Amino acid sequence: MILALLLLLQDAQAFRDKGAKVVEAGGVVVSIDAGDVSSWTEADFKALAALPSLRTLSFSKGLTDASLEWLSGAPALETLQTNLSGMTDDGTKALAKIRTLKALKLFHPAKAFTGTGLAHLADLPELRSLTVAGSYAFGDAGMEAVAKLVRLQEFRTWHAGQTIEGVRHLRGLTSLRSLTLGQVLAYKPPTTLSDETLAVLADMPSLEILQLEEARLTPEALRRLKALPKLKTLTLRGIEIPEADLEGLRRELSHAKIDWTPPTPAYQKRIRALFGP
């Protein structure tokens, strides 16, 4: 047992030497933020996968389909986060082998990732939370694949390529409790989030938490959300709406707490491009 502990300590230091941020608890590694792994070898990734208590893993640049295959033997991994990865839709097949996975966060994935490969994760027994953000390549076909993940309780997406047609696919996620929906990563229509989208969201009665980002929405359209019987929190982040109308909206949606922030200059630029001046 002492020998095994020494080996684990050596592994932790080896990852620190590569620039990774390592968190230990009770003498074992539970979390690693690996950063840029462009220079990592097959042996490095397999050493990660061999850590018996690793629960949380994060990468920035350098992650590939091959990397994911080398990680697929991780016995206890629950949360995986990537940023600027080179994974493709085919690479998600490796993720389907991580049976303990509960949360997957994909930020700025490569253009070769459209999201259609997410359908490979439909049988993961523990997957409850998914984030895909920062890629125009993730569009309506990717949203259709997300709709196959029927165990999802949380889904977040923004600055991607989906339209209202993609959002309609989410109505099949009857266990979804929390949804963050942001604007398309473009400066011309079609939009992801608009008044028309709210009619789709109002047909998702399981929602308890809803965050909407970067759009021009009317009070009349937002009132449609009264149809959500379980709604507890409505966050309007960077939403252009007359501030004078918020008090009335809060009265009409009295069963939900409403938090609002006006658009930043960057958000306002996109809103005007999509909806007009």
- Choose among 215, 211, 161: nearest CA to 186: 161
- What is the number of H-type helices and E-type strands within the chain? 10, 11
Which residue intervals of the chain bear CATH 3.80.10.10? 1-127, 137-277
pLDDT in tens, 243-267: 999 999 999 999 999 999 999 999 9
137-277 to CATH, choices 2.70.98.40, 3.20.20.80, 3.30.390.30, 3.80.10.10 = 3.80.10.10
Q: How far apart are CA 212 and CA 112, in angstroms?
A: 27
Backbone conformation region of residue 152, classed left if phi is above 0, alpha if psi is from -120 to 50, else beta? beta
What does the pLDDT read at residue 10? 58
What does the pLDDT read at residue 12? 86
**Lowest mean pLDDT segment, chosen from 1-15, 96-110, 133-147:** 1-15
Topology annotation, domain 1-127:
3.80.10
Q: How far apart are CA 55 and CA 61, in angstroms?
A: 20
Asked if 214 contacts 271 with a C-beta cutoff of 8 angstroms, the reply is yes
pLDDT in tens, 183-240: 999 999 999 999 999 999 999 999 999 999 999 999 999 999 999 999 999 999 999 9
**pLDDT, average across residues 86-109:** 97
pLDDT in tens, 2-56: 334 334 445 789 999 999 999 999 889 999 999 999 999 999 999 999 999 999 9
What does the pLDDT read at residue 67? 96
Residue 171 pLDDT class (50, 70, 90 cuts): very high
pLDDT in tens, 263-275: 999 999 999 999 9
pLDDT in tens, 52-70: 999 999 999 999 999 999 9
Q: What is the pTM of this model?
A: 0.95
